[in-house]
Structure formats: structure tokens, C-alpha cells
Structure 1
Amino acid sequence: MTLGDVAVTCTVRVQDVNGRPVAGAQVVVLGGPSGAADAAGRWSAALTPPPAIPQVVVTHPAYVQERVAFAGDLRTEPWDNALVQRAVAGDDVTLTVTLGRLDTCPVVELNAEQIKAVMQQPGRDPHAALLWRPPKYPNVRAYTGHWNDQLDCYVAEADLLPEKPVAAEARGWAQFHHHLEPVRVDALGRFYWLRYPAPQADGMHTVAVFSPNLGSPDPLSQLDFVLFYSPNTSSYSAAYPYGLVNDASPFQQYFDLGKKYLLDEFYFVAQLLARKKRVVTVMPIVHGTDWGPLTTGEGALRLLREVAAFLHRQCRTSAAGVRPPGDNPDELCGPNLRTLARAVFRPGFGPVPPVGGVAVAGFSTGIDPVKQVMRAFPVAQGTALWGVPSLDGTDALRVWNTAFRELWDLDGFHPDTGGWPGYLKLLRPWFTADGTRILRSYHSSGRVPPDPDTDPDPVWKDLRGAGLTLDRRQTPPGRWARIKQNERWTSVRMSDSYVDYGPGSDRPVFLDAHHTTPRIGFSHAAGLTKLG
């Protein structure tokens, strides 16, 4: 670009979330030259004449397109994309553009007749996430079924079981030490349905993400995560991921899975918000039983780096992305700064925050991918797109081992995923490899958890460490529960009858023992976590 008689050279460096070059990325200066990034991910040109508002577009088929506009002089004026960093040396400008692989799912608002028409088509697939107008915000669209109302959430206390005997007639949350916490999810964060580029999906291209609002004017130095694995979806009949089921009242089966765990049945997000934890919740939505690259530590780390890049692009790694629920008509259905009319111009955004601490959680058969993540690190699908190739001598395995700090076992169905003895043998080296690692374990008796007092496996000695800070039990007639706990370990074992149903007014509500246990366990683990 020429400013007066001065020529400015623009160099664009294209990299992925691992900092590795993206060769072959197409770089276009609107109204100016274009070309492909070389093997080092670099493209350079002298730009002349100067555009009034310089704009650069970078594309690659395996990544999400990025576009950046400057408010004026390329060398001095602010820009509108947090995934772009600028370095200036005289009249040479270098733009480092990070390309991510996750973007918001397409969305569509359909009336009853339109949904009925979709239900009559093969596949019953609207090819987008459905939207609705929640009664509280009639002028705002939201993901279907997300009421965005205040949730009066029952929150478990650290000691979980009351010190005094519970009454014989007590049921539900009355059997646990808890308090009531009102939570407004829409006022405290944003929910996103994300997807990978369709040609590169490899069977795993839908991820539910909840991002809490942040108060810091600058991006956090790191992002902490809870990565949750649900039971598999082998019984699902809907087309993945947008297909509809249920003629009487159609709903998107795969999206309903994420909604029920994170929002309105299991209350996972509300439990973290009630604790004021600045933790990003990530839930991949599996197609059948194949978790693909996410059954490895490398794949899990790459997923979280991709989520961090997406949130940074949304300005949700700082307070810059915090807006009132009614700020624009799409504020509650995954607002995307790539499409919003209002851009965020800042003199600098800083780099994408690295992955900080991670709690990996699994419920029921969802404990199987958790165990696979504990067991294996390298991905088999291709490390360039799904993994974390080494860069400048950085040991990705060491990075993951440092990040993977907590394991939340939420009534994991170990008898159906390799057995308890194999799990305990896997658990011991993971727990003892780092003196800061934490295990929180919650099981109903139907999952036949071993008794730490009588089971011969040596892992129990390691878990006890120097001793216990809490050992408490409840034994009302016909049922029992016991908690053993110290700073790094919680073991909660409960008879099915102790957690089997309760008052329907409780939130989260108690159901059968197996589906109730994670509601108690997640709440308790969220209160004890060192993350966020």
C-alpha cells in the first residue's frame, strides 16, 4: 500500500491453533493482490494503491475463513479480528492470522408447518440447528428449547452428606448437604453449537460449548475447561447431527442430548456458574459409538485449542464479548462475530489463550472414552488436522499431562467398559504421575463400585495419601451413602435406594439412581474443582 510516496509491504503469516504454518492458504487483499501461502505459511506483496479500509481474507478448505478489516492505516489503526496479530517494522507490516477448525452451526427458524414438511422428507433433516422465540425475549431468537430463565439450582456442599442423621422420610436433595442458588444462564454466558468444516468432519463435527462471561478487559492468560463425555448414541435414529425425531412433537435428537446435560435436566452449566467458576464447558456430540480422534489425549488437546481459538475470535476470552441478552436479535443463538454487523475494533487483541487446566468427566458408558484418553495420546486420524504436532521442540504430551489435572467419574459404567480392575490399574499411574492430579468419583450401587476399605487394589493407598479430611456415612432405613474425601480424592458410594427418585420440585430433579448420581456428583465436583 502507498501512503503518500511510501510503499508498505504486507506479509501474511498463516498458522493453525498449534502455531504451525498452513501451507496453501489463499490470501486475498480486497481490491489488491492475492496468492497462496508458501510451505512456511507466508505470503507477501507490496500493496498499491492504498485501500481506504484495508481488508484481508484468508481461506483454506480444512479451516474456517478469516477476514480482517482495519479502520485506516494498516500500520497504525485498530482492526476487527482477534485471530489476527500485527507486527510493524518501519513500512513493513506482518499479519499473523490463526485459522481454526470450528465455527457456529447453521441455524434456521421454522414454524410448525415448515417443521411438519421437514418431517415428511427423507432423513427429516433441516440441515441446521432450529431456533425459536423464547417467551421472555419475543424479539430475540434462541436455540430451540433454551428457555433462558432463572434456574433455582440445588448446589451440593463440600461435605455432601449431612453430619446429623437424615430423617427416615427424607428423599431427594433433602438427603444431602446443599443450598439453593438462583442462576441466570443467559445473563452469565453464551451457549454455542459448533461444527467442523463438512469435508473434514471425519464423523465428529458437532460440539456443544458454554462460555461464561468474563470481567477482565484483557484476554485471560489461559482458559480452563471441563470436557464432558456422555453415553454413546448408538440407539439414536435421527440423521446426524440435525435430524428430527418424534412425530407428535419433533425435536433434534442430538442437540437435545447436549441441552439436557448442560442446561435443563442435569444442570452442569448452572452448577459451574453457581460457583462463579470461569470454566468453559465442552461436550462433543458423538455419532454412534465412534469418538474418533477424541479418544486420545492429543485429540482432546487439539479440540480444546480449537474451542479456545473460536472463543477468542468471538472476544469471549475477555469482557469485550459480553453483551446484554437482547443486544441483537441473534444474541441467544450462537452470535457469530463473522456475521454480526457490529465489528469490534481494538488496537490489539493478544494471542489465543493456551489451554490451562482440564477436568475430564464421563457419565455411564461415557467413561469409556475417558479411559481411552487416559490410555493413549497419539491420534490415528492425522495429526495435522486432529492432533498437536510438535513445534520448536515443544512436547505436546507434556503439555497435555500438565493440563489434564482432574478426572470426574460420574457413575461410570465400568462393568460394561472393561471392568473395575482394569480401570483401577489405569487410574493408579495417572493419579501418581503428578502430585496435583485430582479424582472425584461418584457411584450408585448398581454400578458395583468396589469398597475402598476392603478392595485389595493398591490404588486406594495412593488415593488416601496422608489420610482423609472427611469420612461420613448416612444409613436411614433401607438405604445408605458414604463419602471419603481429601484434597485430591473423593469417593462417594450410594445405594440405589438412597438416590432413586425424590420430590419433582427439586432442580436438578432426581430420577432413577443411575441418572441421578451425575447430577449430585457434577455439582459436588464443581464446588471442589481447582479450575476457573
Structure 2
Amino acid sequence: MQITVRVSDVNGTPLPDARIQVVFTAPGPLPTSLSLRPGEVRDVTLAKDELEFHVSRDGFTEDRFTFAATASGWLSSNPAGQAFQLGTLLDVSTTIGTVRLAPTIGVPPGSPLVNNPQAALVDDVGEPDWIYRDARHNPETMQRLDEPVFGNLTGPPQEPEWNGFKHSQIAVDLASRGRFVLLEYGPRPTAGSRRPRFLIGTWVPYKPLPASPEVVVFFSPPTFPERGFPVDSYPFLGNYPYGLDKLAKQAKDAHQPYVGHLVNYLITGYKIVYQLLAANRNPIVIMPTPPSANWGPFDTQPGLARLIKEVVRFLYATQLTSSRTAPLVKLRLLNGRTELFPWNGRRTNEPLPRAFAASVSGFSAGINPVVKLCTADRLDDKLYPADLYQSPPGELLNNWREIWDVDGVDVQGWNHMTSAFNGWLAGTNASRRGLRSYHSQDTYSAAQNGLVPTSRVTRLPPVPVRGIYVEEGNSDDGRVTWVHFSNPSLIGDTKAPGHVKTIPEFGSFDAHHMVPAIAFGHAAQFPLR
């Protein structure tokens, strides 16, 4: 028979300079392997109808594809590869990417850690799998802010905090729903590297996804050096992302601020993933962490589109996720090392998704990249070449369904932010776009919010009690939701009579930081259209 192999990136752009190695399954004929150029046609003789391909290209992560013939056609171990037999010709198409599992390392707890380990620290917790440092997937009972948000806002002074809001208690067994995974995006660092790679926190759901998977992108406040994040500069291959905030006499005391930042927002602190699951959503969650407050390519439409497509490709290609079935492949952290098991999954003809449905969110100063995304359709080609870091802007705009503004602080002011949001709402596929905006008094003091008409906003109680009130309103088409909390409505006292320890717990956050602890669970209850 004859074989030919085509190689492309996630944009469908052919990669004629890719390298292909074909490995014949034993007991195959000699030679046991051969090299191919993309598009080249070669004659081969097979001992059985199975072939293995290793595909690579500079800047991309090498990928492996095993194809086997069945009664229903050729099936692949890797959904990023498809094979069709046309007479005696086996036509193989592959899509390779720039995302891979982040390196990890386990260091004996009592050992000193005097240098950047160049990998994420993991801990042996006496379970079959180790964990990323502090990233336990504990079951929790979440308090979910419900719609409408108003609860008993006119009760007596001793009224417990959550009773001021309509809410539900939802049990979330995180470990049964998916896995928090650290990914690297961009070329793998080598000697002399001048292209950046970025650390991405990702939630990988186990439940089968829609044909167009839901993706939630979250932008946190920037990683300012004065907040303890190690300083780095382009191409961010030094202190970022595995550098320590200080040298540790014992490894158990070491802290990696960039890694810890991801764990805190998604899993342990604000529990964003818990909130999304409590709202019955089942998304892939993508949280880029910026080096030294530099968002790199991610605050532009080409850059974020490429990141989403690369992460989705990786998760489907490795069979960590699927739109057909619960995944067979799982992430394992054994003896401090990261691996996928089994590496080749099941044979399938499931293709990569052609589209996604994105919700883009930002908290506090993290709203600035979201605002910029509403207009920024260009990226510096010298710093971030198109072949590695960019997709057409339409790849984001055509798939972007929601903005979640979580107590956002635009450096250019309130009117600039709301103008950008309103422009985005009126853009591509306008009827399928929605905005959910949540603010405390720390970030909002204008007479009009600029998003929902004042006539459609209800305040309860009409006359604040002890300074407590909440406002909520919706646009007439339901595409925009506005929620404004007075600061006293968000502040609790853990020592007050009647206080109940909950997740999230009133009194454990100030007003500004309580907003992300409750807003995601509410925003996620508005289904994507």
C-alpha cells in the first residue's frame, strides 16, 4: 500500500517543514522505520494493518499517532490525527500543537531548595497520586448565589450573612468531576531559546463535553513584583514561572508564587472551579498566569484565540477530554513526575472540535485584558510570531459568548470599560452574546452603570439597613445582568452570634475579594445560547 501524511497547525495551516517518522509495528518488515516529508507518497509493506507516526516541528511539541485498520475504517489513538483509505493509498492528516504538560518535580521535604527547580513542585501526600503543591481536590459544600440574588435583606441586625441572599447549598465532589492540570504553552525551552512559553492553569472535566466545548477563560489581577512574584523579562525563561519567592531551607517550605497563584484562584482560595460546577456547568477552564504583570499575547484576539485552540487540541489529542465518552486517559503524578496513562488511549475516529463556546472573565485589574480583547485584533509579530502564537481574530470573536466582569477596575475609567463592553455586545453574533457584571462599592460609585437602564434596576432594601443593600437588574432581552453589592452586604464577622462557617465564608474576605468568591457561581447559571 501507499501512505502520505499531511501536517498542519490548529489554524489548519500546512507545515511543510514538519518532520515525520513512521514506525512499523513488530513483527514488521525491514526497515522498521522510515522518514517522510509532509505530502510525500511512499510505498510500504505492513505485517498487520497498524502504523505509528511521530510528528514534530521546531517550536511545536512532538506528537505520536497510532492508526489501526478496523471494519469501520482506520481508527486513531490520537483524535488530532485522522486516516482515510482511498484504494491503495492511506491518506493521513495530523494536527500538531504547542501545548504540553508542565514539568513537575518532587523534592524530599527536608531537603534544601536553593535554586529555581525549573518545574512545578509536587507533594507526596500518601495517596496513589501525588498532587501539585497544595492543590487538593477536596469535596466541599458550596453556598451558591442564586437568581434573583435578593434574600432576607431587611432582617434584624443579628441576621446571618448568607440569609441576606437567595442561595443554595450544593455539594461538589471535585475529584470525581475532573482534574486541575498545569500546562505549558509555547516552544519548549532549549539552550539559546528566545521564544517565551507560558504556564497555564487548566481544569479538565471528566464528563463528556458538547461538540463545541464550553471554555471559561479567567484573567486574575496582574502578577506585580511588589506582591512577591519573581521579576522576569521577555522571553520570560528565568524566574517565570517556577522561581521561588525566597530560598527555602527545607523543600516543604518552598513557595512558587506563579504556580500558587493558579491554585489559589481556581481550587483552594476563591474556588472558581467549585463555583462553576455548583452552577451545573461543565467547562474547560483556562487561566493564563502573566509573567511580571505582562499578559504577553493573551490580551489580544489573535493571541487568546490561539491559546484556547491549542489547549482544546491538547486535551482532545491526549484523550483527557472527549465529546463522546468519559475519558480513559488520566493524568498521573508519580514520584514527582507527570505522565498520562495509558499514553495511547482508545482507538477512535472522534475529530477535534471545530468550534468552542467561550466565556471570558476578569477580576479587579484582571478586567483590563478583557476590555482590551474587545478591540485588540493585532499582536506584535516580532515578539509573538504568527506561526506559534496567533490565530485569526474571528476564531475568538465567532466563538466568544460571554463576558463576566467581576469587580473589574479599568485603568482608563468606568466609561471606557462600559463603552468597550457595549461595543462588544453589539458585535459579531450579537444576539448570542451576554454580559454579567458584579461590583462592590470599592469599584462602582457612578450615578448610572452604563450597562442596564436605571429603570430596570431594583434595590433591596429601598432604604439601606446598617448600610446593607443589593441592586440587581437585567436588560430587556436578558443579555446583560447587573449586580451591585454595598460593602456591608459582603462583609461578615466570624465571631458574631449566629455566624455559620460556610464556603465561601463571610468575614474571611474583604468586600472586594468576596465578589469573586460568589460571582462565578451566579454568572454560570445563565446558560450559553
TM-score by length of 1: 0.84
Q: Deviations over 1:445-471 (max 9, x none)?
A: 11134233xx6xxx44xx449x74x72
Identify if the C-alpha distance between structure 1 residues 464 and 204 changes in structure 2 by more than 3 Å, giving closer, same or farther.
farther
Q: 1:131 to 1:489 in 2, by over 3 A?
A: same
Q: Choose which of 207, 214, 229 in structure 2 pairs with 1:224.
A: 214
| Pairing partner for 2:76 from 66, 74, 79 | 79
Task: Identify the residue that residue 442 of structure 2 maps to in structure 1.
Answer: 446
Match of 1:234 in 2: 224
- Scaled by the length of structure 2, the TM-score of the pair is 0.85
Partners of 2:426 and 2:335 in 1: CA distance: 43
Corresponding position: 1:518 with 2:525: no
1:286 matches 2:290 = yes
Counterpart contact for 1:265–1:509, Cα < 8 Å? no
Identify which of 405, 410, 413 aligns with 1:409. 405
| Maintained 8 Å contact 1:104/1:194 | yes
**Residue among 105, 108, 117 paired with 1:111:** 108
Aligned residue for 1:361, secondary structure, equals strand
- 1:473–1:423 Cα change, 3 Å: same
Residue 373 of structure 1 aligns with which residue? 373
1:58 matches 2:55 = yes
Aligned 8 A contact 1:305 1:354 in 2:
no
Secondary structure in structure 1 of the residue aligned to 2:431: coil
- Cα shift at 1:341: 4.2
**Is 1:98 matched with 2:95?**
yes
Indicate whether 1:27 and 2:28 are aligned: no
Task: Indicate the larger mover: 273-282 or 83-92.
Answer: 273-282
Which residues of structure 1 form unaligned runs of 5+?
Answer: 1-7, 390-395
Distance 1:172 1:282 in 2: 31
Q: Distance in 2 between matches of 1:183 and 1:129?
A: 26
Question: What residue number does 1:175 align with?
Answer: 164
Quick one: structure 1 residues 24 and 265, their matched pair in 2 at CA, closer, same or farther if it must change by over 3 Å?
Answer: same
Secondary structure of 2:40 counterpart: strand
The CA deviation at 1:98 is: 0.6
Tell me the distance in 2 between the aligned counterparts of 1:22 and 1:166. 66
Letter in 2 for 1:258: L
Q: Deviations over 1:11-51 (max 9, x none)?
A: 100011111111210011122321333xxxx2332124647
Question: Structure 2: which amino acid aligns with 1:130?
Answer: L
In structure 2, what is the equivalent of residue 424 of structure 1? 418
Residue 129 in 1 paired to residue 126 in 2?
no
Q: Aligned to 2:389, which of 364, 374, 386?
A: 386
Contact map agreement 1:411 1:441 (CA 8 A) in 2: yes
Contact persistence 1:192–1:333 (CA under 8 A): no
What residue in structure 1 maps to residue 200 of structure 2?
A: 207
Distance 1:132 1:507 in 2: 25
- Relative to 1, partners in 2 of residues 1:506 and 1:334: Cα closer, same or farther, differing over 3 Å? farther
Matches of 2:105 and 2:402, distance apart in 1: 38
* Cα pair 2:215 2:284 within 8 Å, conserved: yes
Give the deviation of 1:59 after TM superposition.
Answer: 0.7
The one-letter code of the counterpart of 1:368 is N
Match of 1:482 in 2: 471
Counting helix residues as a fraction of each chain, which structure ranks higher? 1
- In structure 1, distance between residues paired with 2:72 and 2:92: 10
The aligned length equals: 486
Amino acid at match of 1:318: S
Give the AA of the match of 1:241: P
**Pair 328,233 (structure 1): closer, same or farther in 2 beyond 3 Å:** closer
1:147-182 Cα distance to aligned partner (Å, 9 max, x none): 222111111111112165243233543322111111
Q: Give the distance between the partners of 2:524 and 2:317, measured in 1 at CA.
A: 27
SS in 1 for 2:21: strand
How far apart are residue 267 of structure 1 and its match? 1.3
| CA–CA distance in structure 2, aligned partners of residues 201 and 188 of structure 1 | 38
In structure 2, the partner of 1:318 is 323
State the alpha-carbon separation in 2 of the partners of residues 307 and 330 from structure 1: 20
1:400 aligns with 2:400: no
Q: Look up the SS of the partner of 1:372 in the other structure.
A: helix
